[in-house]
């Protein structure tokens, strides 16, 4: 990029850093910080001439926002039918009330689901079930929640549709569903198994305790907790149809966000819940947080910061493909730990596409990017969309997840996972497998 204005550049970087520090310190609600950051970025961008309101609106990925909102509405309507409690009781009985076994089951279910659904949907559906399970057994839901988020972020990396960055990368690089499975699934599988083991180890104290309520569990009748049978049946249809539409969305030309909204409309019009109540329960703080964050990152982009970063990455390819792949992997992991991985991926797409236009064979770099942003998102509470949602949901319960709790588990598993993955990546590139 030519002619970077250094005042705009440093102002944008400064605002971005202050916003992120403000979010991580947790002194104020992260949404308030993000909102203020967005307003400041807009006002200063306007005066310095690097950012306009229209550009800020353009920077918001409405597909993500509508996807979130649609699924939140659907899940809220399902919740009222008692279906989540039903699932929770069945799952707990299946595990005979043993927490570590439950953790394993939930981990497998999460990963499989997040391979076909995006992580956000997976998490929004599973978290209420998890709360019910923890409630039944009177144990802390936090180990389960952390396990689900982290494993869903890892599992999603394996498929084209499992993770929003993968959708972006797939469409930019022209990779198919099978391409993703063949190239990434083996690495994902290994990292997944190691992470699952680490999670069991990290939470061994909580998971090996025998819950006090086993007698109560035996008495529970799963079929009795469904309070609204007709509603539950209808919502099953809605949910089923929505998932089917997700799977074929690109063939019928509908964005995932639109599909989610379609599901929400079906739920609202068919079940007719009290709209004010449903809307009151939506996690608006999450939606606003993302909208504001997109605006902040958009300002960073328009001030030329992301472009400069990208150029630096491009310079690396001169040192050999394996080195470049590793640099992109770690750069992607580091960046998506700090920035949400979707905006970062969006910023990287033109860089890699540009390299490929110069005639370089850069498939390995695309795969490195997908792995890096996918695994790196687990490191911090703001690294991936599903992290923020889980935290926000936990804040409505007596056991909120704090930044420190997150870092203890997230950072450790991410570090180990990334070291492992970069070794595998290096080997695969050197052997010419990628």
Q: By CB under 8 A, name the binding residues for another protein.
A: 28-29, 31-32, 35-36, 38-39, 42-43, 46-47, 53, 57, 62-63, 253-255, 257-258, 261-262, 264-265, 268-269, 272, 275-276, 279-280, 282, 284-285, 288, 395-396
Cβ 128 to another protein shortest distance, Å: 17
Alpha helices in 157-176 (DSSP H): 164-173
Our CB check for another protein shows the closer of 30 and 183 to be 30
Of 232, 291, 261, which Cα lies nearest the Cα of 72?
Answer: 261
Please state the closest distance from residue 255 (CB atom) to another protein, in A.
5
Question: Which residue shows structure tokens 């993000």?
Answer: 34
User: What tokens does 358 get?
Assistant: 């110069």
Closest separation in Å from C-beta 198 to another protein: 33
> Considering beta carbons, is residue 73 or 324 the nearer one to another protein?
73
All residues at 6 or more sequence positions from 199 whose CB lies less than 8 Å from its CB, including other chains? 103, 107, 143, 146, 147, 150, 151, 409, 413
Nearer to another protein, 13 or 258 (CB): 258
CA distances from 417 to 192, 294, 370 (A): 8, 27, 14
* Minimum distance, C-beta of residue 245 to another protein, in the bound complex (Å): 11
Of 77 and 154, nearer to another protein (C-beta) is 77
Which lies closer to another protein via its Cβ, residue 29 or residue 319?
A: 29
CB of 275 to another protein, least distance (A): 4
Residue pair 162/114 in contact by the 8 Å Cβ criterion: yes
Q: Which of 418, 392, 396 is nearest to 30 (CA)?
A: 392
* 25 vs 210, beta carbon nearer another protein: 25
Shortest spacing between CB 54 and another protein, in angstroms: 9
State in angstroms the smallest separation of the CB of 29 from another protein: 4
User: Shortest gap between Cβ of 59 and another protein (angstroms)?
Assistant: 12
Nearer to another protein, 60 or 184 (CB): 60
Nearer to another protein, 191 or 393 (CB): 393
DSSP string, 308-367: HHHHHHHHHGGG-HHHHHHHHHHHHHHHHHHS-HHHHHHHHHHHHHHHHHTT---HHHHH
> Residues 341, 383: contact at Cβ < 8 Å?
yes
What is the nearest approach in angstroms of another protein to the Cβ of residue 188? 30
**Dist CA 23 CA 46 (whole Å):** 24
Cα–Cα separations (whole angstroms), residue 97 to 102, 162, 247: 7, 30, 34
d(CA 326, CA 319): 11
Which residue, chain included where needed, has tokens 């309101």?
A: 53
Q: Nearer to another protein by C-beta: 300 or 393?
A: 393
- Could you tell me the end-to-end alpha-carbon distance of the chain, in angstroms, rounded to an integer? 30
Judged by beta carbon, residue 3 or residue 253, the one nearer another protein is: 253
Q: How far is CA 30 from CA 26, 120, 380, in A?
A: 7, 19, 14
Supply the minimum distance, in Å, between the C-beta of residue 278 and another protein.
Answer: 9
């Amino acid at each position: 990029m030519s002619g970077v204005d250094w005042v705009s550049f440093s102002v944008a970087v400064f605002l971005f850093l202050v916003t992120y520090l403000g979010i991580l310190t947790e002194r104020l609600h992260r949404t308030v910080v993000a909102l203020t950051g967005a307003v400041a970025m807009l006002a200063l961008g306007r005066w310095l001439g690097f950012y306009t309101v229209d550009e800020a609106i353009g920077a918001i990925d409405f597909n993500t926002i509508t996807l979130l909102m649609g699924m939140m509405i659907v899940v809220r309507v399902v919740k009222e039918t008692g279906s989540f409690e039903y699932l929770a009781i069945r799952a707990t009985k299946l595990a005979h009330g043993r927490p570590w076994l439950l953790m394993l089951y939930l981990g497998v279910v999460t990963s499989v689901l997040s391979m076909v659904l995006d992580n956000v949907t997976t998490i929004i559906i599973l978290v209420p079930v998890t709360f019910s399970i923890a409630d039944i057994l009177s144990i802390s839901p936090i180990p389960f929640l952390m396990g689900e988020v982290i494993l869903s972020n890892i599992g999603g990396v394996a498929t084209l549709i499992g993770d929003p960055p993968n959708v972006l990368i797939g469409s930019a690089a022209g990779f198919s569903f099978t391409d993703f499975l063949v190239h990434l699934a083996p690495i994902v599988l290994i990292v997944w198994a190691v992470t699952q083991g680490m999670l069991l180890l990290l939470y061994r104290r909580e998971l090996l305790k025998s819950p006090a309520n086993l007698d109560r569990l035996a008495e529970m009748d799963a079929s009795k907790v469904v309070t609204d049978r007709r509603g539950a049946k209808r919502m099953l249809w809605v949910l089923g149809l929505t998932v089917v539409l997700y799977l074929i969305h690109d063939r019928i030309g509908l964005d995932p966000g639109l599909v989610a909204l379609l599901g929400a409309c079906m739920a609202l019009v068919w079940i007719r819940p009290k709209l004010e109540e449903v809307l009151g329960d939506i996690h608006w703080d999450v939606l606003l947080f993302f909208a504001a964050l997109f605006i902040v990152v958009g300002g960073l982009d328009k001030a030329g910061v992301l472009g400069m970063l990208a150029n630096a990455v491009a310079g690396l390819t001169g040192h050999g493909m394996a080195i470049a792949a590793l640099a992109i992997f770690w750069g992607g992991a580091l960046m998506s730990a700090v920035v949400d991985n979707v905006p970062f991926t969006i910023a990287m797409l033109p860089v890699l596409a540009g390299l490929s236009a110069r005639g370089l064979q850069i498939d390995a770099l695309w795969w490195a990017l997908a792995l890096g942003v996918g695994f790196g998102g687990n490191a911090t509470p703001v690294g991936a969309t599903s992290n923020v949602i889980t935290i926000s949901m936990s804040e409505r319960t007596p056991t909120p997840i704090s930044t420190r709790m997150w870092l203890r588990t997230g950072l450790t598993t991410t570090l180990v996972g990334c070291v492992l993955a970069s070794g595998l990546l290096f080997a695969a590139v050197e052997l010419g497998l990628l």
